[in-house]
Amino acid sequence: MSDITPPLHASETSDAGESFTHLAEASHQPSQAPAVPEPILTVENLAMYFPIKSSIMRRTVGQVQAVDGVSFTVNKGSSLGLVGESGCGKSTTGRLITRLYKPTGGTMTFEDQDIATLNTRQLKPLRSDIQMIFQDPYTSLNPRHTVGTIIGTPLEVHNVVPKNKVLGRVQELLEVVGLNPEHYNRYPNEFSGGQRQRIGIARALALQPKLMVADEPVSALDVSIQAQVVNLLQDIQKEFGVAFLFIAHDLAIVRHFCPEVAVMYLGKIVEIGDRESIYRNAQHPYTQALLSAVPDVKQAAVGGRRERIHLEGDVPSPINPPSGCRFRTRCPIAKEICARVEPPLLQTGPKHKVACHFAGELGKHPEHPLTSRLLGVDDLGSPDPGAGPAQSVDTGAGYADTWFDLESRSFGRN
């Protein structure tokens, strides 16, 4: 791979004031979605509840609702970005996809096979197809093993290559991720943070997976190294056709790497859509608040400043989440219906879904709930005996041919 970005030396690192976007786009343009989307992973109503045990009788006294009713698709050779505050369930979702956790409910269809219910023996052939890049490059690598052992062990476990060719394959992988292939006999403590993350990428790439779950793979790195690692992942995706579930909290990185973005809050997806829909026309108050916190270097250069949206209060506990809309306790536009009725993940565009009774552009949210007639309730959320649901609201994965137009308040299509 001749287009792999080599590691920068200390003298080549960029000024600290430069943004990630500028550094990344210097060599790689933002990733594009495939012309003909074909799902490799379809997640429907995924849930993960962790039991809370009493200290004396060890009885279950409660549950942590880490993930509750999440649905999305990841297309072949493409990337889905999963963003949100710490504790919203992003990493748990990634670990469910890789089956490090067994889900409480829901389905995860990987290439026409539901992997949510498979046992350990049934999962082994699929382990090579779904790999994970962990967040911390310092704790995810065993300090007692050499790099050659770390990368070579998956090759031996899955019998990918003969034992006498494992070393050669390890050296090839080190070269692919921009490291010196002769350093296979070194230990992780002899590498920098960026180099360790490249080792983790090489380990995940060793089995030639079809899907990678990247759990905040650059959050522990400085900006210039972040750009290198993300560009490396773009090269790998282009070269090997790997699909990514990219978990992050940095919206600038997600915008560069992921053609599609899902926003999570307290275990649920509150908005999902393609890159342009989310970043230019966010319709959920939580997404709008997140985007307002992203530094805009270009806007600052011309003397402008984006108005920051400050959310009051703390994130509620997933042990006892709020009724109705989980964001309502911090939402500046919440009304009574938000406490009584959970908003559906309503499709509002060709590739845009939002879970909000008052969805709309920033500063243009409607006075009356958009979803009341769809759900058969009045504006306060009480059942309306004279009306039933106008049309079934599809909250599953993927996008339908029809959607709810926010201006006309009716279903239509282009």
Mention every residue, 6+ apart, whose C-beta is less than 8 A from residue 414: 350
Instruction: Kindly report, residue by residue over 176-211, the tens digit of the pLDDT.
Output: 998 999 999 999 999 998 899 999 999 999 999 999
CA distance 267 to 317: 11
Q: What's the pTM value of the predicted model, to 2 decimals?
A: 0.88
Do 267 and 88 touch, CB atoms closer than 8 A? yes
- Stated as kind and residue range, the H or E segment containing 63 is strand 60-75
Instruction: Kindly report, residue by residue over 143-170, the tens digit of the pLDDT.
Output: 999 999 999 999 999 988 999 999 999 9
What class has domain 36-258? Answer: alpha beta
Domain ranges of the chain: 36-258
DSSP string, 1-57: -TTPPPPPPGGGPPPTTS-HHHHHHTT-PPP---SS--EEEEEEEEEEEEEEE-TTT
The residues pairing with 352 across neighbouring beta strands, listed in sequence order, are: 273, 349
Closest Cα partner for 223 from 377, 3, 6, 8?
Answer: 8
CA distance 73 to 151: 29
Instruction: Kindly report, residue by residue over 123-135, the tens digit of the pLDDT.
Output: 988 989 999 999 8
- pLDDT of 297 reads 55
Closest Cα partner for 406 from 340, 372, 336, 358?
Answer: 358
CA distance 245 to 213: 5
Per-residue pLDDT of the chain (414 residues; tens, 9 = 90+): 334 433 333 333 334 345 777 777 777 888 888 877 899 999 999 999 999 988 877 888 889 999 999 999 999 999 999 999 988 999 999 999 999 999 999 999 999 899 999 999 999 889 899 999 998 888 899 999 999 999 999 999 998 899 999 999 999 999 999 899 999 999 999 999 889 999 999 999 999 999 999 999 888 778 888 888 899 899 999 999 999 999 998 888 999 999 999 999 999 999 999 999 999 999 999 999 999 888 765 554 444 556 788 888 888 999 999 999 999 999 999 999 999 999 999 999 999 999 999 999 988 999 999 988 888 888 888 887 766 555 567 667 889 888 888 888 888 776
